[in-house]
């Protein structure tokens, strides 16, 4: 068996792009330095390239580049460098150097080197911990929203009222698909809550978070209630673990199967029952606020959504817009998601048009990446634009934000409705005003592509 000097684990909230980009970056950086590394990925299909207990025991250092729970407790006693997944993509070589230099912290122990500890604290502080636990919930929630949303959208092919037995458009197959889709969508809040709690308190938190999420959903609190119940459940269970720690070791089985779930569900359930009313009002107020923008000021809403989606492409600000869109989609609002989708599709297409129109100013690898981004963008994978943004963020990111904002604004002005939360142009058959949606995205992407191309042209000419 190969002895790996360094092992790593990567994971992003959606488990589609960042996870594997970080894996590739770390593997390439290690290869250049003649270092053996094994990278475990936590993607949407589950754990791949899983690390064995022997590999963990033999490794000299561990790199965790993740924005979700990757079960770091397995690495107890090992020297760990923990950073957001984006840092694993951009600074892979530096992470390898830091691991070889003995930087990081020993899990459950004191810092190995003060400077490294301070760096890790900044990267993996309380803010990142909260974000990581939230994204653990989001990553598990997304497949339910995507599958449910697409099935509901397909049911609309028979007519917008095809699931209503009292309507002339009624179709039995459409009604069945619509019902299945609604069942999947109804799981959004409980799953979000359950896996936030699981990220905080591991398996004991799962059932408590799930029940808290069911109460939040039943109380009409929306995804905000799911977030609150998830964090509440997780920390309630952590409190119970500490409180019951003095009990004899022989009672560990009883604690896990009886005391934690019973007491945790009781405390979390009672609190959520009392706060559901106020939270429901907040949720309704937020929806009314956003719906008001859709009708009264598509320009303002489009700029806000466009800038959020393109600012950090797959990061927390992008995810805030996307999660809001999926939450509103689950509650019947298909307009907001149309702008979010347009704004997420635009950045990779911007790079594609830039290399298509200004190809001679880009090197061969950039031209290839830009052309591949036509495919990635068309399927709603924003992360393909990250390598371009990483090289010149101060000029490229504002360009992406301009292009995404134009796409989102035009989408709202044309009153496009997208009933599916993912899939890009693959869901065009179920999009209301689908061709106008495509036109909106192309206009924003071409404008952004021309600006990006001119920036690259100016950079190259200055360097000559």
pLDDT in tens, 278-324: 877 776 776 666 666 666 677 888 898 888 888 866 566 766 777 77
Q: 79: phi > 0 → left, psi -120 to 50 → alpha, else beta; which?
A: beta
CA 141 to CA 146: how far, in whole Å? 9
* Res 121: pLDDT: 43
* Res 265: pLDDT: 95
Percentages of the chain per state (helix, strand, coil), in multiples of 5: 70, 5, 20
* Res 166: pLDDT: 87
Considering the entire predicted model, what is its pTM?
A: 0.65
* Res 289: pLDDT: 67
Taking 50 as the pLDDT cut, the residues of the chain under it are 109-123
CA 17 to CA 364: how far, in whole Å? 22
CA 26 to CA 21: how far, in whole Å? 9
The hierarchical CATH code for the domain 6-124 is 3.40.50.2300
- Paired strand residues for 62: 7, 80
**461: burial class by Cβ within 10 Å (0-12, 13-18, 19+)?**
exposed
Task: With residue 106 as reference, give the H or E element that holds it.
Answer: strand 105-106
* Res 38: pLDDT: 93
309 is catalytic: no
* Res 122: pLDDT: 45
What is the CA angle 363-367-373, rounded to 5?
Answer: 145
The three-class DSSP label of residue 136 is: helix
CATH 3.40.50.2300 residue ranges for the chain: 6-124
* Res 282: pLDDT: 74
Helix spans in 85-166 (H) = 85-90, 92-100, 114-123, 126-155
* Res 1: pLDDT: 52
The residue annotated as part of the active site, out of 12, 307, 309, 344, is: 12
* Res 366: pLDDT: 79
Task: Please answer whether residues 357 and 449 qualify as being in contact, where contact means their C-beta atoms are separated by less than 8 angstroms.
Answer: yes
* Res 3: pLDDT: 65
Q: Would you tell me how many other CB atoms lie within 10 Å of the CB of residue 257?
A: 11
């Amino acid at each position: 068996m190969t002895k790996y000097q360094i092992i790593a684990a990567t994971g992003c909230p959606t488990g589609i792009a960042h996870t594997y980009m970080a894996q590739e970056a770390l593997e390439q950086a290690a290869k250049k330095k003649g270092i053996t590394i094994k990278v475990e990925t936590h993607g949407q299909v589950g754990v791949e390239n899983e690390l064995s207990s022997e590999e963990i025991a033999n490794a000299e250092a561990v790199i965790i580049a993740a924005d979700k729970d990757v079960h770091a407790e397995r690495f107890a006693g090992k020297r760990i460098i923990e950073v957001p997944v984006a840092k694993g993509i951009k600074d892979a070589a530096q992470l390898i150097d830091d691991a070889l230099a003995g930087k990081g912290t020993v899990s459950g122990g004191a810092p190995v080197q003060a400077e490294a500890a301070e760096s890790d604290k900044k990267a993996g502080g309380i803010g990142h911990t909260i974000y990581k636990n939230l994204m653990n919930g989001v990553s598990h929630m997304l497949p339910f929203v995507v599958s449910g949303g697409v099935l509901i959208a397909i049911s609309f092919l028979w007519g917008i009222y095809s699931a209503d037995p009292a309507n002339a458009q009624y179709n039995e197959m459409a009604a069945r698909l619509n019902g299945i889709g609604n069942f999947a969508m109804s799981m959004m809040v409980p799953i979000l809550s359950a896996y936030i709690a699981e990220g905080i308190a591991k398996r004991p938190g799962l059932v408590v978070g799930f029940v808290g999420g069911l109460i939040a959903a039943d109380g009409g609190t929306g995804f905000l209630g799911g977030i609150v119940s998830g964090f509440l459940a997780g920390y309630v269970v952590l409190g119970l673990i500490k409180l019951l720690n003095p009990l004899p070791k022989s009672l560990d089985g009883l604690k896990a199967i009886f005391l934690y779930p019973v007491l945790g569900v009781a405390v979390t359930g009672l609190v959520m029952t009392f706060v559901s009313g106020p939270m429901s009002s907040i949720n309704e107020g937020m929806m009314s606020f956003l719906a008001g923008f859709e009708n009264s000021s598509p320009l303002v809403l489009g700029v806000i959504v466009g800038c959020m989606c393109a600012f950090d492409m797959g990061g927390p600000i992008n995810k805030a817009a996307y999660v809001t869109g999926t939450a509103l989609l689950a509650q019947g609002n298909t307009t907001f998601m149309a702008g979010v989708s347009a704004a997420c599709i635009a950045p990779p297409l911007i790079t594609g048009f830039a290399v298509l129109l200004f190809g001679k100013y880009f090197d061969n690898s950039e031209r290839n990446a830009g052309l591949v981004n036509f495919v990635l963008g068309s399927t709603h994978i924003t992360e393909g634009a990250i390598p371009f943004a990483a090289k010149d963020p101060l000029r490229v990111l504002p360009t992406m934000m301009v292009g995404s904002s134009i796409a989102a604004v035009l989408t709202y002005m044309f009153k496009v409705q997208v009933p599916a939360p993912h899939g890009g142009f693959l869901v065009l058959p179920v999009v209301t005003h689908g061709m106008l949606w495509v036109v909106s995205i192309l206009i924003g992407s071409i404008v952004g592509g021309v600006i990006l191309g001119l920036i690259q042209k100016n950079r190259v000419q200055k360097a000559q």
